[in-house]
Amino acid sequence: MQKIYFISVITICVLLSGCKTQKASHTHSHNGVSDHTHLENDYFDSYSLIDENFGTKTIVTVNNGVRTMVTNSLPNHKTGEFPRKGNPNTISAQNRTYTFSTTPKLNDKPTWVREPGVALNGVKFEPGTAEVVVCETGENYRVEALQDVIDLGLDFNHAHVQPTGAYHYHGTPTSVIEDLDTGKDLVHIGFAHDGFPIYYSKSGAYKSSYKLLDGTREGEDCNYTNPKQSISISVDGHHDGTYGSDFEYVVGYGDLDECNGTTIDGEYVYLVTNEFPYISRCLMGEVKEEERKGPPANGRQQGQRGQGENRRQPRSFSELLDVMDVNKDGKLAKEEVKGPLTDQFSRLDANNDGFLTKEELEKGRR
């Protein structure tokens, strides 16, 4: 009878109030910033976030070493007006279930991912973009979300909306941080897909180890194209952070590793920073969500870039689709391809139907 009563209380608590059990916090100094606190709050236990004003419904249960989040991925805070200039999409509810290990384990090398984790409110972090500037001379530059060259319609939460209606964060989730701020320096804002927690330091106590490359970019006759426009872009000039390839990871340059993580009081955590990479582009822990894997954040694994190496060709059909498949039909039409593929299209299009398939591309390469 006691066991049945206990389960009933937990169930009601999860659905109505969030099962909040406050844990201890402790304070010390770091990098000259005194008295900032490492906070462990009730979001490590089962909780629920249900907000009728915004339509948010996120329920998290912790059981047998697994944290399960069932969410409609609607933010529980104000957003910019969507559709908006640079982003023609409308926010809509999603149907997502995430699982995270409550006993995450570190790997000996990073795993590059497109979607590193999820905020506590069920909205995903996705720092990279699918926007690419393609040059006729062969260079491809992946556009960063936080830049001043191409307007991607980000709102004050450094977020916007995908064509599916999924609202997602490309940088510091301003409203999430404000909502979860307890007055301490470290604010727990989410979980990475490997199970490690994600924090934001209000004082900026933990610095990224990425820096801008020296020298200038290469590329001529470069264009950015989306379904509604094609813009001529000049990539000449110094590396200013417009593209992911403008940055390189330098061991020891800051406090954080290549995945924007560090160990605090013996526990590994990720930090969202106001500087690149803003949100981790890789995971240091074990992760099973194969579908979330993507290319290295800067087009190749950081730390392996030689002097002046800024050009990169897509290495797989799926990546070509990500870059060029404007109507998302899983094929590459002649009018969609850019760069060297333009000249090679007729040779690769074996059946002359005006589209490139995965099989045709692989056969042409062989």
Residues ≥6 apart with Cβ < 8 Å to 153: 80, 82, 84, 85, 86, 87, 88, 160
Give per-residue burial for 250-259: e unless 16+ CB within 10 Å, then b.
eeeebbbbbb
Percentage of the chain beyond pLDDT 90 is 64
CB 216 within 8 A of CB 237: yes
How far apart are the C-alpha atoms of 220 and 138, rounded to whole Å?
Answer: 9
Average pLDDT, the chain: 83
CB 90: neighbour CB atoms within 10 A? Answer: 11
User: What is the H or E stretch that residue 48 is in?
Assistant: strand 47-51
How far apart are the C-alpha atoms of 26 and 206, rounded to whole Å?
Answer: 17
SS3 14: helix
| 320-349 per-position pLDDT tens digit | 777 677 776 778 887 777 766 776 777 888
- Does residue 53 carry a pLDDT above 90? yes
| 157-171 per-position pLDDT tens digit | 999 999 999 999 999
Distances in Å between the alpha carbon of 312 and those of 139, 207, 292, 295, 340?
A: 6, 28, 21, 12, 12
Which amino acid, residue 165?
A: G
Token pair 């972090």 in the structure block, residue: 125
Q: Which domains does the chain have, with CATH numbers?
A: 2-127+165-206+251-307 (no CATH), 314-366 (1.10.238)
What pLDDT is attached to residue 223?
A: 96
Tokens of 46: 């089962």
Helices 358-365 & 317-324 angle (0-180, nearest 10): 120
Residues ≥6 apart with Cβ < 8 Å to 138: 311, 313, 339, 340
What is the average pLDDT across 15-43?
Answer: 41
Residues ≥6 apart with Cβ < 8 Å to 312: 139, 140, 245, 299, 300
| 59-86 per-position pLDDT tens digit | 999 999 999 999 999 999 999 999 999 9
How far apart are the C-alpha atoms of 66 and 225, rounded to whole Å?
Answer: 42
What pLDDT is attached to residue 318?
A: 73
What is the average pLDDT across 127-150?
Answer: 95
Lowest-pLDDT range, 97-101, 178-182, 260-264, 293-297?
Answer: 293-297
Sheet of strand 96-101, all strands in order from the earlier edge strand to the far edge? 47-51, 56-63, 66-71, 96-101
12 exposed, middle or buried (CB, 10 Å; 0-12, 13-18, 19+)?
Answer: exposed
- Does residue 20 carry a pLDDT above 60? no
pTM over 0.85: no
- Does residue 151 carry a pLDDT above 90? yes
How far apart are the C-alpha atoms of 23 and 55, rounded to whole Å?
Answer: 29
What pLDDT is attached to residue 321?
A: 75
CB 185 within 8 A of CB 33: yes
CB 283 within 8 A of CB 192: yes
- Does residue 230 carry a pLDDT above 80? yes
